[in-house]
Structure 1
Amino acid sequence: MSKEEKLKKIVASQPYPLLFATISGAHLYGFSSPDSDYDLRGAHILTLPEVLRLDPGRETIEISEVRDDIELDLVTHDIKKFFSLMLKKNGYVLEQLYSPLIIHTTPEYEELKAIAKGCITRHHNHHYLGFARTQWHLFEKESPRRVKPLLYVYRVLLTGIHLMQTGEIEANLLKLNESFQLPYIPDLIERKIAGYEQSILADVNLEFYQGEYNRLYQELLAASESSWLPIAPSAKNALNDLLVRLRMANR
């Protein structure tokens, strides 16, 4: 059985119907190592009685285990929580929603992706700026320093700049760098892919990487200030209508 078949089997065994399930994490970002786990993300649909009762059903399901020889990290949210996160400046859920690595799909999932375009605002820059700062501080204080947080720094900054300029979610660093053409990115990715999750940068040039971090951080700030993206989301009514239809269909 292939890994994709195993992942489909895992998804099919979940306790609630799924609106969608996709692969996120390093596999989505384009720099998975041989020992990278599989980050499955998605949205499930609680039944109407479970939503209405005093003790509601499981709003979030989290599973971390090895199943069928696959190291798995699975997180799904009930559709109400997932839709609510979409209306906030949360880049994670949009990346999960638009991941091209689809394990489970439904017609309503395709509808949701169309609606989600009305959730993208210029304020999503705060998500990417904050994530970049966190990963840079992690990389800076480590001894020895790892490749992974440095790749995350550049991945989120380029994703944010691309989003501010185009209104499109692109989380794959290899694809992003086709446009940005940063000469050091392929080498960093190769080190990560050829090694392991905790691969070390033995010959790190901290001054250079910090300069690039600062430059791209400022570029993201400038891109958000000049972005044509709206200030507030416009998709709340459409999300509400879809939520009610999905809930009523799952009575």
Structure 2
Amino acid sequence: MRDTILTAFKKIEEDFHIKILFACESGSRAWQFPSKDSDYDVRFIYVHKKKEYLAIDPIGIGSKRDVIELPINDLLDISGWELTKALRLFRKSNPPLMEWLRSGIVYYQAFSTIEQMQELSKSIFAPNSCSHHHLNMETNNFREYLQGEEVRIKKYFYVLRPVLAAGWIEKYNEFPPLEFSTLVNHLVPEGSLKNEINTLLKRKLDGEELDKEPKIQLINKFLNEEIERLREYANMLNIDIPDFTPKLDLLFRHTLVEVWKR
């Protein structure tokens, strides 16, 4: 699959006249709970040639799109963000982008831009915005997937992970790790709840078809209580993050020189 992905990148660079700086896996594979039929969620960051930025309309305005998305098939979902778009979101501690920078599955990396972003991410991390992101995700997924007497059992992971990620931020005041098992091991005490979660994880990783089943009352109770508790915590956060715009401007300019050599 890696060769297929790298071949797709070469074609993207040729078709769009860009350079890819970084590409990684996101979603369930990066979180280490893929299903047997999980596709590959590949995300990348790219940069245009200098002349594209020397125009009265910035990238992202009108026909000058700041994303590249390939048609999704049964196996591959590939999309990327243009660098200035990525840096503007990075400035706001955008959680999906912060996850890309921490992905354990990296398909491609070139030039020094990503290393510099990874180093800056330690300072740019904003616990308030990241907590609210995870809480909004878990609340929406909990409401949509886990309210009936019978639920799509694999959807528990898409509520448990953001709940535990928000809990990690509360406990450690740092961006949470991507790996689901790490969150469980650090945040869920030994006992019946942890056993239920780990049993569910084993079934999913073993390729068992986790379709509709009776909801797991113990996990639902935990989620209800944690969502309410963490919402109160997040609402109390009021942390000002310094403006990193000057540093990110320099990083962008340095990237243009490094990539295009002139």
Deviation at 1:165, TM superposition (A): 3.0
Deviates more, 1:88-97 or 1:25-34: 88-97
Choose from 190, 194, 218 the match for 1:208: 218
**Counterpart amino acid of residue 145 in structure 1:** V
Spell out the pairing of 1:188-199 with structure 2 (5 A cutoff). Answer: 188-195=200-207, 199=210
Q: Aligned in 2, Cα 1:23/1:142: closer, same or farther, shift over 3 Å?
A: farther
Scaled by the length of structure 1, the TM-score of the pair is 0.85
Deviation at 1:164, TM superposition (A): 3.5
Deviation at 1:89, TM superposition (A): 4.8
Deviation at 1:157, TM superposition (A): 1.2
- Is the 2:34–2:205 contact (alpha carbons within 8 Å) kept by the matching residues of 1? yes
Aligned to 2:168: 162
**Deviations 1:86-108, CA, capped at 9 Å, x for gaps:** 12252111111211211111322
Deviates more, 1:169-178 or 1:27-36: 169-178
Question: RMSD in angstroms over aligned alpha carbons?
Answer: 2.6
Deviation at 1:225, TM superposition (A): 6.7
Choose from 158, 174, 187 the match for 2:181: 174
Q: Aligned in 2, Cα 1:185/1:231: closer, same or farther, shift over 3 Å?
A: farther
- Is the 1:28–1:172 contact (alpha carbons within 8 Å) kept by the matching residues of 2? yes
Aligned to 2:117: 112
Deviation at 1:215, TM superposition (A): 2.3
Deviation at 1:142, TM superposition (A): 6.1
Aligned to 2:139: 133
**Counterpart amino acid of residue 58 in structure 1:** R
Q: Aligned in 2, Cα 1:141/1:218: closer, same or farther, shift over 3 Å?
A: closer
Deviation at 1:220, TM superposition (A): 2.9
Percent identity for Structure 1 against Structure 2: 21
Aligned to 2:54: 52
SS of 2:34's equivalent in the other structure is coil
Deviates more, 1:129-138 or 1:178-187: 178-187
- Is the 1:146–1:200 contact (alpha carbons within 8 Å) kept by the matching residues of 2? yes
Structure 1's consecutive aligned runs of 4 or more residues displaced over 6 angstroms after TM superposition are none
Q: Which has the larger radius of gyration?
A: 2
Q: Which has the higher contact order (CA 8 A, sep 6+)?
A: 1
SS of 1:169's equivalent in the other structure is coil
Q: Aligned in 2, Cα 1:226/1:92: closer, same or farther, shift over 3 Å?
A: same
Deviation at 1:151, TM superposition (A): 0.6
Q: List runs of 5+ in structure 1 lacking aligned partners.
A: none
- Is the 1:21–1:103 contact (alpha carbons within 8 Å) kept by the matching residues of 2? yes
Aligned to 2:240: 231
